Homo-oligomer: A and B are copies of this chain.
């Protein structure tokens, strides 16, 4: 097994990588999401009292099945864990222990563990325990939210500012609760009789949720309430300002790196110097497309051109259909001549494109005339060949 394992293990390891955008990764995630949804739904429904016994048994079966899938995933990932540190000279056992103790490993174990309670416990116990799974299984959803990492970084970068907003939030809460308690405790001893009770009202009001279960009655209490509501708007505005600014900056950085990873696969860019390249990189956008997606449609107005950094597209012009592979580009006529699209372009495989918008194209044109020249040369050749758009023509 030692001789054949690496390739299987590597493929399995690869399948489970969160950032895998290839075939196996996307299939696995789709299946995982389906299983997870089924499991969560089954637990949610089984929490309803008075279901017919047959339904109850069916739901329990689904829950067990889902748990079995997650157990399988856990074992497979544990087995494949050494791949992560292949060249680090760490023993397989250590690598597996390392993964088992990581956040991913622990969530995986927690999701599997309680299956025992259902399988071996009484019907009553399983009913009680079911929601507990739910909380652990929900953590598995995080795999499907790649922007969570960006979000975490934004929060980490802005932690000082956010902490200050939280402290302001707490200051408003406690002061409002205290003052409202002093003003309202006579009239409403139940709802404002002590500060912890009044705090509930303050939270409900400051977040502008406003259940209406507790409402100030005195003139003073209502004034405090009004101030708290207005403060709620201010706190929300501040929070939005901080997160929006931080998010925009972080997204810019992420996109820059994503483009940088793709741009070297396009020969036209790869031969440029680092300085020139860095300028172009900040103008390009990465777009991932599944197969059989229409990227541009004939006769529609266009405002961007595309470079293929991975995959393949089919250019369907009136004069015939051709395929374009990695390194090719299309859509340049919309930018050079301001004409509508002359062909429909469809992806044939999972494809990664780099998009260059008109507004940025002309800016680049001013600084890097060589790039525009080579795009123009190719465009002239295409027009001469009456071929619509494709750059590197191959019959598909």
Contact = CB atoms under 8 A, between A and B. Distances in A.
A141 B164 contact: no
Residue of A40, A84, A193, A234 with most chain B CB atoms under a 10 A cut-off: A234
A240 B248 CA distance: 11
A116 interface: no
Instruction: Give the size range of A's interface with the partner.
Output: 35 or more
B243 A234 contact: yes
Kindly name the residue among A170, A179, A238 whose own CB sees the greatest number of chain B CB atoms within 10 A. A238
A269 interface: no
Interface stretch (A6-14, A195-203, A380-388): A195-203
Nearest to A161: B147
A366 B279 contact: yes
A120 interface: no
A151 B168 CA distance: 11
B146 A164 contact: yes
A228 B219 CA distance: 22
A298 to B, nearest CB: 8
A88 interface: yes
Contacts of A141: 167, 170-171
A19 B188 CA distance: 43
Contact of A84 (B138, B245, B299): B299
Interface stretch (A63-71, A74-82, A249-257, A345-353): A249-257
Given A134-B178, A193-B49, A236-B233, A171 B142 contact: yes
Nearest to A211: B212
Interface in A364-385: 365-366
B211 A208 contact: no
Interface in A206-252: 207-213, 215, 219, 222, 225-226, 229-230, 232-248, 251-252
A204 B210 contact: yes
Given A138-B171, A145-B168, A229-B203, A247 B236 contact: no
A175 B134 CA distance: 7
A131 B181 contact: yes
Interface of A: 40, 43-45, 47-49, 84-85, 88-89, 131, 134-135, 138-139, 141-142, 144-148, 150-151, 157, 160-161, 163-165, 167-171, 174-175, 178-179, 181-182, 193-196, 199-200, 203-205, 207-213, 215, 219, 222, 225-226, 229-230, 232-248, 251-253, 256-257, 260-261, 274-275, 277-279, 281-282, 285, 298-299, 303, 318, 338, 357-359, 362-363, 365-366
Given A131-B178, A241-B246, 16 more contacts: A47-B181, A147-B165, A161-B251, A200-B222, A204-B229, A207-B229, A208-B208, A209-B210, A213-B215, A234-B243, A237-B242, A237-B243, A245-B251, A257-B303, A275-B365, A278-B366
15 contacts: A49-B194, A88-B298, A131-B178, A144-B167, A147-B165, A151-B168, A200-B222, A203-B225, A210-B212, A237-B239, A237-B242, A241-B247, A245-B248, A260-B358, A274-B362
